[in-house]
Amino acid sequence: MAKPTQKASAVPQDVVLSVRGLSIDYYTRRGPVHAVRDVSFDLKRGETLAIIGESGSGKTTLAIALIRLSPRSARITQGQILYNGERKVLDIASLGDEELRRFRWSDCAMVFQAALNSFNPVLTIWDHFLDTARAHGSPGRAEVRARADELLGLVNLDPERVLRAYPHELSGGMKQRVLIALSLQLKPEIVILDEPTTALDILTQRSIIDLLRRLREQLGFSMIFISHDLSIAAELADRVVTMYAGTAVERASVDDTFYRPRHPYTVGLLRAVPNVSGALGSVASIPGSPPDLIDLPPGCTYSPRCPFAIDECRKAEPALLAVDTPEHDARCIRWEVVKEKVGSAEQPVAEKLAAS
């Protein structure tokens, strides 16, 4: 279905992955589920991009489509995924099986949600390293071992102990570290992490966040991570794409997202999360629930829950409008009203709204 309308070479040099107007449907008995609708973003070299959204926002569907691991019932109905690697330029949607196999892991690796279930329980960690190496042109055992030692060292694990272990012998945090090491085995340019810290304890979460930060500094890969947890985005991301009902409703730098959000959903989401440091501010939930993705409401999909909505919002789905700076856009015709309310101070949204 996906017809390349633009040449991959049109991707700017500093962009390593460009997603353009991507739409994905799932086919079900009730009809097509519009899980991802017209999502575009550029991932710059060395950058960390967070895709945040709640369950059903389409964030995981989007992520697994980037390496074309979507289930059979999913179809890309529109758009392009362009990879602009140092070694090659690829249009992911039109790759053949062999090219796709090589793209996965050596160019773009993925750490899946639920680290505990990503391993083969009857293989040792060493076997996992060896398997990966064999599947991608087999270097010698000594080379694989050297790489495994290096990577496990980087993620603060003892290779002697860990390589011999079976997955069940490792704690949740150790498994997540091993998966991160495995994802880096073939020196990919892009690493995608789906909910990298969900289901981990607080102290373990902290060590994984610090680890990802350090690896990014040391190795310079680009990173996309998917999360429902805003605080992980604040900790790790350079830029944030906020998703709602399958589409990107706001794209901005991390500071603009947290201090100067212009889409009412982003504002609502930020306000819904209490913090531990600082003032509690005016914390509040968003009323209502997300729409049915088979039968979307007319106009802006957030309008039924939006305190800023006017009649015009229900007529047509707004485009991404540039707000404040060229690097920041929001799918909201009322963004100027939101701006008036939220302002531009470097202060969390809940605190600002408590003061006003």
Partner 1 sequence: MSSDAGASPLIELEHVGRTFTTPAGTITAVNDVSIALDAKEAMCIVGESGCGKTTTGRMLAGLLRPSSGRLMFEGKDVWTTKGDDLARFRKAVQLVHQDPYASLNPLRTVYDTISAPLFRHKRARDRKQAISVATELLQRVGLTPPADFLIKYPHQLSGGQRQRVSIARALTVDPRVIVADEAVSMVDVSIRISLLNLLLALRDEFGVTIVLITHDLAVARYFAQVGRIGVMYLGKMVEFARTEQIVADPAHPYTTALIAAIPEADPTIARTKRKVELRSAHVPSLLRLPPGCVFHPRCPLSEPGLCDVTVPELLPLQEGQEVACHVAMRERVPAAELLETVPAGVATEPG
Report 160-179 residues binding partner 1 (CB under 8 A). 171, 173
Q: How far apart are the first and last CA of the chain?
A: 50
- 280 sits near partner 1 (criterion: CB under 8 A): yes
Spatial CA neighbour of 221 closest among 194, 185, 254: 185
- 346 sits near partner 1 (criterion: CB under 8 A): yes
Q: Is 157 helix (H, G, I), strand (E, B) or coil?
A: coil
Q: Is 320 helix (H, G, I), strand (E, B) or coil?
A: coil
- Out of 285, 311, 340, 356, the only residue in the binding site for partner 1 (CB under 8 A) is 285
- Out of 289, 298, 310, 327, the only residue in the binding site for partner 1 (CB under 8 A) is 289
- 242 sits near partner 1 (criterion: CB under 8 A): no
- Out of 150, 169, 210, 295, the only residue in the binding site for partner 1 (CB under 8 A) is 210
Report 44-83 residues binding partner 1 (CB under 8 A). 54-55
**Two structure tokens written together for 44:** 């710059």
Handedness of CA 111, 113, 118, 124 (dihedral sign): positive
Spatial CA neighbour of 344 closest among 262, 260, 264: 260
Stretch that binds partner 1, among 73-81, 85-93, 115-123, 264-272 (CB under 8 A): 264-272
Q: From the CB of 278, what's the least distance to partner 1, in Å? A: 7
- 102 sits near partner 1 (criterion: CB under 8 A): no
Q: From the CB of 267, what's the least distance to partner 1, in Å? A: 11
- 324 sits near partner 1 (criterion: CB under 8 A): no
**Residues in CB range of 94: below 8 A, 6 or more apart:** 2, 4
- 345 sits near partner 1 (criterion: CB under 8 A): no
193 φψ region: left (φ > 0), alpha (ψ -120 to 50), beta (else) = beta
Q: Which is nearer to partner 1, 142 or 276 (CB)?
A: 276
DSSP bridge partners of 17 = 43, 83
Q: Any idea what the Cα angle at residue 134 is, between residues 197 and 68, rounded to 5°?
A: 50
Q: Which is nearer to partner 1, 122 or 202 (CB)?
A: 202
Spatial CA neighbour of 197 closest among 238, 234, 168: 234
- 213 sits near partner 1 (criterion: CB under 8 A): yes
Q: Which is nearer to partner 1, 18 or 247 (CB)?
A: 247
Q: From the CB of 121, what's the least distance to partner 1, in Å? A: 19
Burial of 273 (0-12, 13-18, 19+ CB in 10 A): middle
Polymer length of the chain: 356
Q: From the CB of 87, what's the least distance to partner 1, in Å? A: 27
Q: Which long-range contacts (CB under 8 A, 24 or more apart) does 307-315 make?
A: 307/264, 308/264, 308/332, 308/334, 308/337, 308/338, 309/264, 309/334, 310/334
Three-class DSSP labels, 5-16: CCCHHHCCCCEE
- 266 sits near partner 1 (criterion: CB under 8 A): no
CA distance 80 to 92: 8
- 286 sits near partner 1 (criterion: CB under 8 A): yes
- 255 sits near partner 1 (criterion: CB under 8 A): yes
Q: Which is nearer to partner 1, 97 or 346 (CB)?
A: 346
- 326 sits near partner 1 (criterion: CB under 8 A): no
- 218 sits near partner 1 (criterion: CB under 8 A): yes
- Out of 16, 254, 313, 330, the only residue in the binding site for partner 1 (CB under 8 A) is 254
Stretch that binds partner 1, among 12-20, 36-44, 97-105, 222-230 (CB under 8 A): 222-230
- Out of 203, 311, 326, 340, the only residue in the binding site for partner 1 (CB under 8 A) is 203
Q: From the CB of 348, what's the least distance to partner 1, in Å? A: 5
CA distance 102 to 331: 36
Which residues of this protein are in contact with partner 1, per CB under 8 A? 54-55, 156, 171, 173, 197, 201-207, 209-210, 213-214, 217-218, 228-235, 254-255, 258-259, 268-270, 272-278, 280, 283-287, 289, 346, 348
